[in-house]
Structure 1
Amino acid sequence: MLRYKLPFFSLISVVCLWLSMSTWAAASSLTVMPIKLDISSPQVASKLTLTNGDDEPVNIQVRVFRWSTVNGVEKLDPTPDVVASPPAAKVPAGGQYVLRVVRVSKAPVIGEERYRILIDEIPDPRKAKAGTVGFSLRFSVPVFFHNKDALDAKLSWSVKQTLRGLVVTGSNAGDITARISDLKILSGGRVVASKSGLVGYVQGGSTADFALGLVKGPLQGNVQIRAQSDRGAIDATVPIRN
């Protein structure tokens, strides 16, 4: 799950600073649990619980998007197939609010369907001060619907060294999305590039590119890829591409 801090001036948000974390605790003390939803057929519904640790209520807006990867780039598109209810709410001070997530499409799930629920904190205009910057939050919760015949993730990897640094590409020949974290590249037994925490997702039937930045000098021969995923540990050896 991703959390975004959205700076806003008195009338309009102008900058988006995003942070990814394994647990969430926001400036407004708003938290969302669980951090992702996995829903198996024939189940069509689940829920998210929002908790407000502040002494003032928090207004939120909720939207649902279909989530896909096209040519290695993630896309969010509006969809009528899944709804979150209610689409707007007020989380009481020191209290909780439950959002219900329902797949309303009558078409059967084939393999896995992927969505993201965006939960935006709506700033209280009465608290805005001229000439100052405040912060609102955006939570992005991944939601997966899959049928009982969906194939587990089947990952393969490649590493390319470019002028801008190393690019690790993951390909998934299965149906189920794999969540990748704590990615390391080793050459000659030495870690030459790494990224801690959440790195990203490799969706079923898709590829995803993960940029790791520059390394000292050209790499030759094979490199080792080590990472964690929600499908198990990753340990692969591949030739470096230049």
Structure 2
Amino acid sequence: MRSAWLRDALCSGLLVSLLAAGGSADASGLQVAPTTLNLKASQNADGLWLSNTGDSVVHAQVRVFHWTQDAQGDRLTASRGLVISPPMLQLAVGERQLVRVIRMGAPPNGGSAVEDAYRLAIDELPVDAQGKPGLQFVLHYSLPVFIQPAGATAAPAQLEWSLLRDGDHVMLRVTNHGGSHAQLAGLSYIDTMGRRTDITPGLLGYVLPDATMRWMLKPSAAVFAAGGILEAMVNGEKAAQNLSLVDRSH
């Protein structure tokens, strides 16, 4: 499953590129805040701050992708539904700059409208190290942006959970029947004997409205064999589901 993009900046949304050979490393200072944007239907724009906490100049660019999910996982399509100003910038040491995120079209509307979703790809651009040996780390952030529909507030996430056995492996399947996204984090499983197994201490991912996502879990099927309770943080609130294994063909 293509889940590399499905991480927000605080959890793991950065990629490290090794740009030179040697025995040392230069750490980047590019920081982004906030790590999620939620635009109400009445909002045409919002903003985020890019800052340089390192010891050298940072060059960065921001790109926009429309974000959907299908049977293959996350789909990111280059989009002009949002405009970034400025899309490219240079930050001196200690400098920060506001980047505007502007919605170009109308928000989702209609009686069955649900929240729309985008991803902002924020990339640090490599710079000339001027012959300095070592490794230069450059960062990639992938930030979610959610657009609320016009009219009534989108219905909250309504999740259907399943644990599917595939030999000795287990897949978690989550379907969102609601009108808003669900952010899943901090998963653990407590079996009928009271034994707790931590599955994902941090962010697992998102399930967008009207979408189904699947994740292969690290614990073996034996952990889930007797049935039990799956605990998770859903949009920052604790949730619990009684779940037992079913055959993947179901």
Band of TM-score, shorter chain: 0.7 to 0.9
Residue 226 of structure 1 is matched in structure 2 by: 231
Provide the C-alpha distance between the structure 2 equivalents of 1:127 and 1:231, rounded to a whole number of angstroms. Answer: 45
Q: Does 1:175 align with 2:179?
A: yes
Q: Does 1:140 align with 2:142?
A: yes
Alignment of 1:52-201 (within 5 A): 52-71=52-71, 73-106=73-106, 108-109=108-109, 110-127=113-130, 133-147=135-149, 148-163=152-167, 165-188=169-192, 189-201=194-206
Provide the C-alpha distance between the structure 1 equivalents of 2:18 and 2:224, rounded to a whole number of angstroms. Answer: 44
Partners of 1:153 and 1:231 within 8 A in 2: no
Q: Does 1:203 align with 2:213?
A: no
Partners of 1:193 and 1:212 within 8 A in 2: no
Q: CA, structure 1 residues 143+234, in 2 after alignment: closer, same or farther (shift >3 Å)?
A: same
User: Which of 4, 10, 17 lines up with 1:7 in the alignment?
Assistant: 17
Give the match's secondary structure for 2:65. strand
Q: CA, structure 1 residues 89+29, in 2 after alignment: closer, same or farther (shift >3 Å)?
A: same
Provide the C-alpha distance between the structure 1 equivalents of 2:88 and 2:168, rounded to a whole number of angstroms. Answer: 42
Residue 18 of structure 1 is matched in structure 2 by: none
Partners of 1:72 and 1:206 within 8 A in 2: no
The residue identity in structure 2 corresponding to 1:225 is: L
Provide the C-alpha distance between the structure 2 equivalents of 1:142 and 1:102, rounded to a whole number of angstroms. Answer: 14
Higher strand share: 1
Provide the C-alpha distance between the structure 2 equivalents of 1:128 and 1:171, rounded to a whole number of angstroms. Answer: 51
Residues matched between the structures, number: 226
Partners of 2:30 and 2:50 within 8 A in 1: yes
- What is the CA distance between 1:192 and its match in structure 2? 3.8
Q: Over aligned residues, Cα RMSD in angstroms?
A: 2.2
Residue 4 of structure 2 is matched in structure 1 by: none
Provide the C-alpha distance between the structure 2 equivalents of 1:91 and 1:164, rounded to a whole number of angstroms. Answer: 50
- What is the CA distance between 1:240 and its match in structure 2? 1.1
Partners of 1:184 and 1:191 within 8 A in 2: yes
Provide the C-alpha distance between the structure 1 equivalents of 2:39 and 2:221, rounded to a whole number of angstroms. Answer: 44
Provide the C-alpha distance between the structure 2 equivalents of 1:30 and 1:52, rounded to a whole number of angstroms. Answer: 5
TM-score (norm: length of structure 2): 0.82
Partners of 2:164 and 2:246 within 8 A in 1: yes
The residue identity in structure 2 corresponding to 1:145 is: I
Residue 40 of structure 2 is matched in structure 1 by: 40
**Structure 2: 5+ residue runs without aligned partners?**
1-7, 21-25
Q: CA, structure 1 residues 213+108, in 2 after alignment: closer, same or farther (shift >3 Å)?
A: closer
Partners of 1:178 and 1:231 within 8 A in 2: no
- What is the CA distance between 1:73 and its match in structure 2? 0.3
Partners of 2:107 and 2:148 within 8 A in 1: no
CA displacement 1:173-194 (0-9 Å, x = unmatched): 0010011110112222212451
Alignment of 1:9-24 (within 5 A): 9=19
Provide the C-alpha distance between the structure 2 equivalents of 1:232 and 1:225, rounded to a whole number of angstroms. Answer: 14
Percent identity (aligned): 27
Q: CA, structure 1 residues 204+57, in 2 after alignment: closer, same or farther (shift >3 Å)?
A: same
The residue identity in structure 2 corresponding to 1:169 is: R
Give the match's secondary structure for 1:111. coil
Provide the C-alpha distance between the structure 1 equivalents of 2:86 and 2:222, rounded to a whole number of angstroms. Answer: 54
